[in-house]
């Protein structure tokens, strides 16, 4: 049996014909394409195999998996696609490489706002788009997203590219709530408050706050925990900051998803559905919470103590699918206001 595990670099180079037809795979296997780093999710696959006896074969890549599945067509060996952010979930659906996940388990466990209305994807964990703030220079512990455009923060905010999928999700949520005109006004105000040109990633936001270049950064919840607990080199960046859970006025904190899709061709469809259902079980949800520092979608599963230390997350009720429909508008507005210039 071919070793299905590959690095992001080699995965991008492998020709789809090398994997052969679906009949090449045994009944006791499931083939996963994933944007998640294999080392982060291997504990999940190991536990799944231990529980079910089904072997998990993995291809991981940093980009291009939807295109690869489309190119592979009917010969695609992929059963399941694991990815992050509504942007990539929606991209896979738009590429036509998925099929509805028909599962009572998923429908009962995953809240409707974290599922595709047509069944093509389901969230398996959540992350929030929050604020990292200077412990020394920012005393507020309650800040709204709307307030980020307030001139009082002029020259105080750091952020990665406005076109990055994580920011696109937040901006699309703003469009969904207030419409394009108000979203454009807000983006202009936010841009006016930037301390520097959008650059780097979420970790670098904390780095620049620690260096005094800005006081507030927009970032995902799990990066702070990873720096604090798993990265001694970057721990000082986390120690210089605190996490504030912002909210929309009259709403909650913007969340996005790590999600799962069932491949359209899925040669091992039954095993693919088993894996998807297993991923929302107690054991998998606990692993996600502790290994990836994400919020479980399953009610009753304990949140990792570091993440819980941010305060109680009250997720905004806006359906994730509605955010997806406003992605293009948000991206257009980012260019219109010259956000990344």
Look-up: residue for tokens 């070793």?
Answer: 3
- For 142-176, b where at least 16 C-beta lie within 10 A, e where not — what string? ebebbebbeeebeebbbbbbbebbbbbbbbbbbbb
Alpha helices in the chain (DSSP H): 8-13, 38-52, 65-72, 85-94, 104-109, 165-178, 180-192, 202-210, 221-230, 235-239, 269-279, 282-291, 305-308, 320-325, 327-336
Task: Check the annotation: does 222 bind a ligand.
Answer: yes
Strands 98-99 and 295-296: unpaired
Look-up: residue for tokens 């990633």?
Answer: 201
The widest CA-to-CA distance across the chain, in whole angstroms, is: 63
SS3 252: coil
Strands 55-60 and 29-34: parallel
CA-CA distance, 242 to 133, in Å (whole number)? Answer: 5
Q: What are phi and psi of 229, to 5 degrees?
A: -105, -25
Write out the H or E segment, with its range, that includes residue 84. Answer: strand 80-84
Task: Check the annotation: does 178 bind a ligand.
Answer: no
CA-CA distance, 252 to 177, in Å (whole number)? Answer: 12
For residue 67, which of 47, 85, 81 has the smallest C-alpha distance?
Answer: 81
User: Six-digit token pair at 274?
Assistant: 């088993």
**What is the Cα 219 distance to its own chain's centre?**
12
DSSP state letter for 302:
P
CA angle (61 as vertex; 57, 66 as ends), nearest 5: 90
Would you list which residues are annotated within the binding site?
Answer: 222-223
Binding residues for Fe cation: 222-223
């Amino acid at each position: 049996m071919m070793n299905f595990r590959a690095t992001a670099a080699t995965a991008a180079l492998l020709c789809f014909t090398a994997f052969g037809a679906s009949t090449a795979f045994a009944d006791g296997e499931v083939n996963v394409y994933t944007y998640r780093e294999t080392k982060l999710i291997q504990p999940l696959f190991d536990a799944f195999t231990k529980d079910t006896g089904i072997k998990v074969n993995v291809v991981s890549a940093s980009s291009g998996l939807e295109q690869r599945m489309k190119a592979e067509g009917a010969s695609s060996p992929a059963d399941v696609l694991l990815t992050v952010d509504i942007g990539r979930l929606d991209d896979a659906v738009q590429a036509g490489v998925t099929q509805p996940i028909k599962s009572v388990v998923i429908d009962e466990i995953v809240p409707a706002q974290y599922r595709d209305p047509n069944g093509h994807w389901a969230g398996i964990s959540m992350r929030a788009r929050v604020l990292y703030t200077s412990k020394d220079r920012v005393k507020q512990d309650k800040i709204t997203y709307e307030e980020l455009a307030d001139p009082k923060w002029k020259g105080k905010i750091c952020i990665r590219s406005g076109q990055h999928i994580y920011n696109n999700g937040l901006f699309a949520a703003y469009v969904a709530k207030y419409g394009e005109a108000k979203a454009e006004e807000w983006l202009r105000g936010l841009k006016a408050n930037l301390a520097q040109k959008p650059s780097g990633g979420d970790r670098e936001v904390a780095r620049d706050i620690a260096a005094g270049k800005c006081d507030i950064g927009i970032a995902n919840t799990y990066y702070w925990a990873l720096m604090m607990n798993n990265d001694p080199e970057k721990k000082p960046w986390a120690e210089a900051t605190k996490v504030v859970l912002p909210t929309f006025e009259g709403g909650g904190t913007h969340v996005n998803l790590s999600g799962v899709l069932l491949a359209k061709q899925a040669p091992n469809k039954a095993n693919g559905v088993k894996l998807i259902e297993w991923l929302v079980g107690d054991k998998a949800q606990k692993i996600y919470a502790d290994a990836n520092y994400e919020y479980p979608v399953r009610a009753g599963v304990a949140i990792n103590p570091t993440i819980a230390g941010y305060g109680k997350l009250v997720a905004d009720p806006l359906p994730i699918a509605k955010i997806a429909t406003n992605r293009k508008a948000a991206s257009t507005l980012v260019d219109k206001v010259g956000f990344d210039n």
